[in-house]
Amino acid sequence: MFGAGERSSGHDASVKRHGSISLHAEPPARAGATLGGASSSCKTCSLRPVCAVNPDELACSQQMDDLVLGYRHVKKGEALYRVGDGFSNLYAVRTGSFKKVNLLVDGREQVTGFYVSGELLGADGISAAHYASDAVALEDSSVCVMPFDLLELLSREVKAVQHNVFRMLSAELVRESNAMMMLGTMTADERVAAFLLDLSRRWKARSYSPSAFVLRMTR
């Protein structure tokens, strides 16, 4: 998408301080993701304030704990899912970071998004019942696994959950729209600047430095 990159692990101490932005390139590849039981409830998770499924907003912490099936570890360069894989789950990034990759008609790959802790992955699989892109880990990462059929059921039973589902899907639409605008209307320098400013805002929302963070992209 932007050709330059993003993010630091949620455990990087260096991002806690201010300073100049440092760029570190790293490579990509498929997943032998492992599933584990949730080590903490949504209610006590440190990502609660920024998560796509924040239980504070839903006022139904127990239902959210029931919804999150567990967490999955994905090694650096492996895919959480590939384009064409059958859709069954949505994912919230727990630790690490991911890039979203679309395949163009001429066979080239286009990076269309980067995702950090608390953000939603997999929404592009809802309409056609299979994922429309690859989600590849930029570093050793983990995600919370949310079966979509359980989320649908919970949405029907709890109005706050339904509202939150609409909100996070709308946020995805806005993100995609902004990405397309950058690709279509900005110069290369403008795209990089807009990307870094967006990343800065996202890290600041997670209480990390908005001016010093590690970029995990390949270039």
Of the two residues 131 and 213, the one the predictor is more confident about is: 131
CATH 3.40.50.1580, applies to 13-205: no
Give the pLDDT confidence score for residue 156 in this predicted structure. 85
Each residue's pLDDT tens digit, 59-81: 566 666 667 778 899 999 999 99
Buried b / exposed e over 24-57, threshold 16 CB at 10 Å, is: eeeebeebebeeeeeeeebeebebbebbbbbbeb
Listing DSSP states for 117-135 in one string gives: TT-EE-GGGTTTSB-SSEE
Each residue's pLDDT tens digit, 7-42: 333 333 333 333 333 333 333 334 344 555 544 567
Q: Which band of pLDDT confidence, cut at 50, 70 and 90, is reported for residue 166?
A: confident
Structural Rg of the chain based on CA atoms: 17
Question: What DSSP designation does 219 have?
Answer: -
Give the pLDDT confidence score for residue 16 in this predicted structure. 35
User: Among the listed ranges 45-54, 158-167, 186-195, 208-217, which one has the minimum average pLDDT value?
Assistant: 45-54
Give the pLDDT confidence score for residue 217 in this predicted structure. 79
Q: Is the pTM of this model over 0.75?
A: no
Give the pLDDT confidence score for residue 196 in this predicted structure. 87
Helices 159-185 and 188-205: crossing angle in degrees, nearest 10, is 150
The helix (H) or strand (E) run that includes residue 177 is: helix 159-185
The closest of 112, 135, 138 to 6, measured between CA atoms, is: 138
